Amino acid sequence: MLIVPEAAIADLMTREAAFDAVEKVFAAMATGDAYNFPVIREAIGHEDALYGFKGGFDRTGHSLGLKAGGYWPNNLDKHGIINHQSTVFLFDPDTGRVRAMVGGNLLTALRTAAASSVSIRHLARPDAKVIGMIGAGHQAAFQLRAALAQRDFAKIIGWNLHPEMLPNLQKVADEAGLPFEAVELDGLREADVLISITSSFAPILQADQVSPGAHIACMGTDTKGKQEVDAALLARATVFTDEVAQSISIGEAQHAVAKELITEHDITQIGEVINKTHPGRTSAEEITLFDGTGVGLQDLAVAASVVDLAVARGVAQEVDF
Ligand code: NAD
């Protein structure tokens, strides 16, 4: 069995490799060559922790396995380690033998950022110049860095419920040499591309706070009850997702579907756009919305990619198992 520890991931994995892995697996999901297993998520009644498994099988990429992990809210205060903890296990689909154990913490941020980037590459207007962020936490910086590679952006704008976190976005803007402006929610109308990545349980962005032609990647809503944008925005937009089943149950679309503003048949898997079986954006005025719920296959795809990189560089640890 190969081991790629958490500490080795930063030097091995690149944003480009994460993008390629996620784009490929989204494409395989749309052809039915890859599918996700039902998600398990449990409050274990210890340390207020939420623990679970996300798994799947990708026949094309030959990836079988799961990500095990969750959220331990007391970690930082009690142990000085981050609250989100996860590990990916890959198995040989020909024999069922375990193939690799891979640190999943940094990979989760990279695969989530890759998902919104894939949506921007395939759905945003080619001439997009202003990118707007809703959220300024841990994931937001990863999201913004990855998104900046997708278009020739000239300006970053952002809003966050907790303004003291906005320097996280300013830092990424400084790295990229782009101006950053903190705005009110109405100011987000200037954005050609928007990413929302918060822990909100109530709509932040209203349908009239988005301009025609914008692309929005809603990335924070990954649980029943969470919500970042007004349900009416999904009725106004053409809606895409990583996986329809998750979009309508734990994603942003859960609210619009519950209010009967849209049905699951109005939602297209992004893989269809990648595979060119769906045209994606069809006009410069159309609003496109990507509901990124986060699927297990994304975790397996980036983990398999990092194992390949670790083997190629001779840094994968091999144990007899
Ligand atoms: P974080 O704790 O670092 O940041 C949380 C962000 O949400 C901050 O910007 C904070 O100001 C904002 N926020 C908190 N409570 C809010 C509220 N009530 N209303 C509006 N904004 C609020 O968290 P993070 O690691 O950046 O994760 C952000 C979100 O992304 C979480 O909801 C997480 O579950 C989700 N997530 C989704 C995926 C996916 O694949 N879709 C993957 C990882 C994380």
The DSSP-derived string for 159-172 is E-SSGGGTHHHHHH
How much distance in Å is there from the Cα of 134 to the middle of ligand 1? Answer: 10
The CB of 241 under 6 Å from ligand 1? The reply is no
Rounded CA separation 111/103 (Å)? 13
User: Considering only CA atoms, which residue is closest to atom 39 of ligand 1?
Assistant: 294
Residue 276 has a pLDDT of: 98
How much distance in Å is there from the Cα of 199 to the middle of ligand 1? Answer: 4
Pairing of strands 227-229, 267-269: unpaired
How much distance in Å is there from the Cα of 263 to the middle of ligand 1? Answer: 26
DSSP 151: S
Encoded tokens for 218: 């809603």
Residue 144 has a pLDDT of: 98
Helix then strand then coil, % of the chain, to nearest 5: 40, 25, 35
Which one is the CATH code of 2-108+297-318: 3.30.1780.10, 3.30.70.3000, 3.40.50.10440, 3.90.180.10?
3.30.1780.10
Amino acid identity, position 229: V
How much distance in Å is there from the Cα of 137 to the middle of ligand 1? Answer: 6
Closest CA to 255 of 232, 289, 238, 236: 232
Pairing of strands 98-103, 2-4: parallel
Stated pTM of the model: 0.97
User: Considering only CA atoms, which residue is closest to atom 33 of ligand 1?
Assistant: 220
Atom of ligand 1 nearest to the CA of 295: 40
The CB of 109 under 6 Å from ligand 1? The reply is no
Name the class of domain 123-294. Answer: alpha beta
User: Considering only CA atoms, which residue is closest to atom 14 of ligand 1?
Assistant: 199
Residue 225 has a pLDDT of: 95
Residue 213 has a pLDDT of: 98
The full set of domain ranges for the chain reads 2-108+297-318, 123-294
Say if CB 231 and CB 205 are below 8 A apart.
no
Contacts with 204 (C-beta within 8 Å, 6 or more apart), sequence order: 134, 159, 161, 185, 196, 198, 228, 229
Best residue among 72, 77, 199 to mutate for probing ligand 1, ranked by most atoms within 8 Å of CB: 199
The CB of 294 under 6 Å from ligand 1? The reply is yes
Say if CB 179 and CB 130 are below 8 A apart.
no
Best residue among 110, 139, 160 to mutate for probing ligand 1, ranked by most atoms within 8 Å of CB: 139
How much distance in Å is there from the Cα of 135 to the middle of ligand 1? Answer: 7
The CB of 15 under 6 Å from ligand 1? The reply is no
Atom of ligand 1 nearest to the CA of 293: 41
Residue 210 has a pLDDT of: 98
The CB of 161 under 6 Å from ligand 1? The reply is yes
The CB of 113 under 6 Å from ligand 1? The reply is no
Residue 172 has a pLDDT of: 98
Parts of the chain with a pLDDT under 50: none
User: Considering only CA atoms, which residue is closest to atom 7 of ligand 1?
Assistant: 198
Atom of ligand 1 nearest to the CA of 219: 41
The CB of 63 under 6 Å from ligand 1? The reply is no
How much distance in Å is there from the Cα of 318 to the middle of ligand 1? Answer: 36
Residue 258 has a pLDDT of: 98
How much distance in Å is there from the Cα of 220 to the middle of ligand 1? Answer: 6
Catalytic residues: 67
Contacts with 319 (C-beta within 8 Å, 6 or more apart), sequence order: 1, 3
Residue 132 has a pLDDT of: 98
